[in-house]
Structure 1
Amino acid sequence: MNSNSSPIIPENTDVRTCPINPNHWYAVARSCEVKRLPYSIILWHQAIVLYRDQKGIIHALEDRCPHRQVKLSHGSVSGNDLECAYHGWRFNREGKCTFVPYLAEHQKLPSCQIRSYPVLELDGFIWLFPGDEQALKQKSLQPMGVPEWDHLNYIATVSVINCPGHYSFLIENLMDMYHGHLHNNYQAWAAAKLQNLSVEQNRIDAYYEAQSYYRIDKIWSISQLFFPALRRLHPEPLTVSYIYPHWQSTLGQDFKIYCLFCPVHSTYTRAYLIHFTSLEAFWRLHKLPIKFRRFLKNSLFGSAQKILDGLVAQDVEMIAQEQAAYLENSSRKTYELNPTIAQVQKFIREQALCT
């Protein structure tokens, strides 16, 4: 998106209608989701197709054949190009037409061009930059990344969030640790109290003091995740951070969680929630062979799936109600006591103004 053609966003714009700031990297798919066939995604109203070339390198194009405007994601990969299912036209990673099967000798290839997007594969996810490529080069912008993904001391669980609401509802939910009343036995913390709030150019950090049972210092202590009767609460610092456009949280030394955003449009948000359990406390484990530790990490992948999916389902239900209520009457006043939420809303408007 060229900044010269971007819409002007008034400073008092309703946060529930704010667009994303496209000049950031968004997580649009897991690496394992994009295999041999083209893969369709939508990022803030933009239909995009992901595909792998012969070497397995990921590419991203506008999901539209300029010939008849059908979806390229319904086609196939031919060599390093993407082939349209309708007439067999092919397009390279730059979005240029490279082949038309019925082209006559005296005819030239059409000069049509579809948009290509900067795309990277990092830490188990595919990251896409939908904004101004000049800004990308000038500022050397990089994806946030998930460094624990390949780290042998962290066990991962991933839950996909399909949320029928504007992305602001989801990030407010994640930044507000006062809604633990909703989750009962699904959450690892209780009685959160906001201690401090830090606001910088591209991030907000909210520091809470909470009660937690999530201390993984003995093998048996992992059973606390599954058996509430074994849980013993203790004080633990809880930090939640909005690192635009994504979210990150830590609870003590043993808990880390990310939410990677892919807003689809103004009333629908897709995101990936990644939960990490740390094995840092098990020092004897660190002396074992790398292959065994890798096997253990892979074997335990998804071990917190039931808990994570349960949390997501409860939050999505509430956000769906919030979105429905907003659409029914957008002028209805709401009441907020957590200062974090006011900062989040201001931050979203500021980022929208940057488009």
Structure 2
Amino acid sequence: MELAVTLKSQTIQNKVREVGINENNWYPVAWANTLKPGEVIPVTIWQKSIAVYRDNHGQVHALENACPHKGIELHLGEIQGDRIVCPYHGWEFDGDGQCVNIPYFPKEQKLPCAQARSYPAEDRYSVIWVFPGDPTLATERQIPDVPEYADPNCLMIPITGVFRAHFSICNENTMDVFHGFLHKNLQGWFDPILLKLQDGDDFVKADYRVSYQGILTRFLGIDRDGSGVTTRTVSIHYQYPHYHSTMEGVSSLYLMRLPVGPNETRSFSLLFLPKIRLPKWLLRTIKPVMVPLVRRFLFMRFLEQDVGMMESEQRTYRANPNRRYVEVNPAIIALQRIIVRQYETFVQQSSQSPFHSQQSSHTSAPIAGLATSVSTERG
């Protein structure tokens, strides 16, 4: 649905900072190259601890990070073949979480009914994904499509973000193009204008016109007339719970969000630059050196400034959750509405499904009426 793009003062309802996630989606948990065959790591998806391991055949598995015998964290164990072995008593569990061997049991003795909950897991686009919700919905909810991943002409830059802030704060930062003032010393962007805004049950799309200057325009080769200034359309598409944004004809960014808990969020992003004017053989040769340099000395400088603002916002909110705030960007209000709606949907689904664990007390706070209380003017 088309929404009005007028910048208009609206009061934010702070309960958007308290909602949990809709678990019935795929979430990124690690870069694929950080998990070798025979290794196991602990990950957390919205306070849910999960042991993710790659068996000796290369297949990725995800189990609840608690042995059903004594509750020992399974990530402390070891991998044998396609099984994970608890470090305490040596109980072995397969990729479905079923206990398949107890070393001190006679071979003829029946094993107890002991099973760790398993989660659908995938290795795709250099990222390990886990589906923490109802596993019967895993095939319906798709991992975001990244068509540029297979394009050899694109320079792919993986970027990791770690934020001590609620995921709603992080999501608003990504949707908010009006904060270019923050990056003025980096010669970032200026004069943003919201051109178009749409939303639905699980998405928000916003188009901005933005001007760029300085080092960013020179590196990306978008200085058309030699003045050092260029104007482009930036399109931001939030498809709960992840982002895809593009700069007109220049870049494509896939930002995959991992809400860890009420005070921590992570992101796994893939930035594609299709306009690198180098021969393919040379690009392949210098990529191992060029990617970390571009990431660290260009893009991470912007991200680090954003991190400071997001974490400041979180600290202020936690110090006084009753403080009232005013927002003027209708894209932010639309985004908040989606975040709340998706959580409400999950709460309703989980009450009817045996697969969802009971929500923690802080995420079960009353949120009735919040979706309408952050409504924005519609065009």
| TM-score (ref. length: structure 1) | 0.85
Q: Partner residue of 1:340?
A: 331
Q: Partner residue of 2:32?
A: 31
In 1, Cα distance between equivalents of 2:316 and 2:216: 41
The counterpart of 2:110, out of the listed 100, 108, 111, is 108
- Residue 141 of structure 1: CA displacement? 2.0
| Residues 237, 223 of structure 1: alpha-carbon distance in 2 compared, 3 angstrom cutoff | closer
> 1:258-297 alignment to 2 at 5 Å?
258-279=254-275, 282=277, 285=279, 294-297=284-287
- Residue 273 of structure 1: CA displacement? 3.0
* Contact map agreement 1:123 1:145 (CA 8 A) in 2: no
In 2, Cα distance between equivalents of 1:185 and 1:155: 26
The counterpart of 1:60, out of the listed 34, 59, 62, is 62
In 1, Cα distance between equivalents of 2:161 and 2:170: 10
- Residue 106 of structure 1: CA displacement? 5.8
In 2, Cα distance between equivalents of 1:191 and 1:76: 55
1:304 and 2:304 matched: no
In 1, Cα distance between equivalents of 2:250 and 2:188: 11
Count of residues in correspondence between the two structures:
329
Deviations along 1:294-347, one digit per CA (max 9) or x if unpaired, are 445455333421222222221111111111111111111101111111101111
| Residues 157, 214 of structure 1: alpha-carbon distance in 2 compared, 3 angstrom cutoff | farther
Where relative contact order (Cα < 8 A, 6+ residues apart) is larger, the structure is 2
1:331 and 2:327 matched: no
In 2, Cα distance between equivalents of 1:126 and 1:278: 24
| TM-score (ref. length: structure 2) | 0.80
Q: Partner residue of 1:41?
A: 43
Give the percent of matched residue pairs that are identical in Structure 1 and Structure 2. Answer: 31
1:318 and 2:312 matched: no
1:352 and 2:352 matched: no
Deviations along 1:155-186, one digit per CA (max 9) or x if unpaired, are 12223211111100000001000111112254
> 1:168-207 alignment to 2 at 5 Å?
168-186=168-186, 188-207=188-207
- Residue 190 of structure 1: CA displacement? 2.5
- Residue 256 of structure 1: CA displacement? 1.7
In 2, Cα distance between equivalents of 1:254 and 1:78: 46
Deviations along 1:259-283, one digit per CA (max 9) or x if unpaired, are 2111111111111233222237x4x
* Contact map agreement 1:162 1:271 (CA 8 A) in 2: yes
Q: Partner residue of 1:210?
A: 210
Q: CA RMSD in A?
A: 2.5
Counterpart residue type for residue 327 of structure 1: R
| Residues 19, 223 of structure 1: alpha-carbon distance in 2 compared, 3 angstrom cutoff | closer
> 1:97-246 alignment to 2 at 5 Å?
97-105=99-107, 107-137=109-139, 140-186=140-186, 188-213=188-213, 221-222=218-219, 232-246=228-242
- Residue 224 of structure 1: CA displacement? 7.0
Q: What secondary structure, in the 3-state scheme, does the structure 2 residue paired with 1:304 have?
A: helix
* Contact map agreement 1:59 1:119 (CA 8 A) in 2: yes
| Residues 190, 216 of structure 1: alpha-carbon distance in 2 compared, 3 angstrom cutoff | closer
| Residues 187, 352 of structure 1: alpha-carbon distance in 2 compared, 3 angstrom cutoff | farther
- Residue 127 of structure 1: CA displacement? 1.3
- Residue 222 of structure 1: CA displacement? 3.1
Q: Where in structure 1 are there 5+ consecutive unaligned residues? A: 1-11
Deviations along 1:83-123, one digit per CA (max 9) or x if unpaired, are 11111111000000011111135632121111111111111
Q: Partner residue of 1:4?
A: none
In 2, Cα distance between equivalents of 1:145 and 1:83: 34
| Residues 240, 186 of structure 1: alpha-carbon distance in 2 compared, 3 angstrom cutoff | farther
* Contact map agreement 2:40 2:53 (CA 8 A) in 1: yes
In 2, Cα distance between equivalents of 1:236 and 1:14: 35
